[in-house]
Amino acid sequence: AAFPGVPHGTLYTIIMAAAAAADGAEESGMEVEGPELPLGCGGEGGSPAAGSSPQGEERRDPPQASVSNGGEGEGGRELVELKVIWNKNKYDVRFALDSTGAELKQKIHSLTGLPPAMQKVMFKGLLPEEKTLREIKVTNGAKIMVVGSTINDVLAVNTPKDAAQQEVKAEENKKEPLCRQKQHRKVLDKGKPDDVMPSVKGVQERLPTVPLSGMYNKSGGKVRLTFKLEQDQLWIGTKERTEKLPMGSIKNVVSEPIEGHEDYHMMAFQLGPTEASYYWVYWVPTQYVDAIKDTVLGKWQYF
């Protein structure tokens, strides 16, 4: 069509000149300006540059998720895999590493029906309720041992053990201090063993990871106590042999400070129904006395 005010020959000349300019730009490798068209994914020459959007804005890769050793649960809390063992039953549990021992007891309650107050939970000794699993260095695959009986189990069983304990305490109140009795004086008069473990008076500590050693038994021989929490056993070792006792078979534990050396105790494990069954150990460091009683008897004994 004719353009008003433009001579017919002049328009033809302008069109031909524009076509020639475009052909010359292709031959010389120059780009011809024009709107860019999206060519799809990964096409050469027509796709936007990597890291940029078609509109020219900078494109950022999505952040990479961090991975923890124990995995993460809801809210990003770090979890550990635990094996909870109670009454020959095993439970695989994923639990938050920053949860406390008291919270773990609640979890064990939901699994076993065992009330927290009647649980004796052990990981390298009694599990402290106020500390987190991270603070006591619980790792993936750790075994958590649980000892205790449900209320129904306790009520279903006669309680001669409690009666025996009361009788023993009554007899002890009638007698003179144990360390003055002749049967004990012959051992105590030997004096404190050279290799006895150090004591800390006025402090209560958890059981050490090594056996308690450097003590005497009733015959004056050296004795050591090893607490095998995984097997729920107490090993009493002498030079001649090692007795492996299930903790449930020990009916009572009694102790008394040694006069003149109150930072050490003499202690007895009741292995049978009478006083004759007591196994005596002398020069037990005082800081471990309560931990020994709790580990052997369990806190649930008071119910």
Tens-digit pLDDT string for the chain (303 aa)? 455 555 555 555 555 555 555 555 444 444 444 445 444 444 444 444 444 444 544 555 444 433 334 555 556 688 989 999 988 889 999 999 999 999 999 999 998 888 888 888 988 888 898 999 999 899 898 999 898 876 666 555 545 555 556 666 666 555 667 878 888 999 999 999 999 999 988 888 988 889 999 999 999 999 999 999 888 899 999 999 999 999 889 999 999 999 999 999 999 999 988 888 999 999 999 999 999 998 898 754 333
Q: Cα angle at 273 between 265 and 217, to 5 degrees?
A: 35
CA-CA distance, 227 to 223, in Å (whole number)?
13
CATH 2.30.29.30 residue ranges in the chain?
Answer: 178-297
* Residue 52 pLDDT: 46
The answer to whether residues 293 and 206 touch, using CB atoms and an 8 Å cutoff, is no
The answer to whether residues 78 and 97 touch, using CB atoms and an 8 Å cutoff, is yes
Identify any residues that bridge with 122 across adjacent strands, giving them in sequence order.
126, 145
Write the class of the CATH domain 178-297.
Answer: mainly beta
Identify any residues that bridge with 208 across adjacent strands, giving them in sequence order.
none
Query: Pairing relation of β-strands 89-96 and 222-228?
Result: unpaired
Number of H helices, E strands in the chain: 6, 11
> For the domain 79-153, what is the CATH code?
3.10.20.90
Which of 289, 273, 93, 111 is CA-nearest to residue 205? 289
* Residue 237 pLDDT: 95
Identify any residues that bridge with 78 across adjacent strands, giving them in sequence order.
72
Q: Which two tokens stand for residue 258?
A: 């040694």
Q: Which two tokens stand for residue 266?
A: 């003499």
Query: Pairing relation of β-strands 278-285 and 261-270?
Result: antiparallel
Identify any residues that bridge with 142 across adjacent strands, giving them in sequence order.
82
* Residue 49 pLDDT: 46
* Residue 177 pLDDT: 79
CATH 3.10.20.90 residue ranges in the chain?
Answer: 79-153
* Residue 47 pLDDT: 46
Strands (E), the chain: 79-86, 89-96, 120-122, 142-147, 212-217, 222-228, 233-237, 242-246, 252-258, 261-270, 278-285
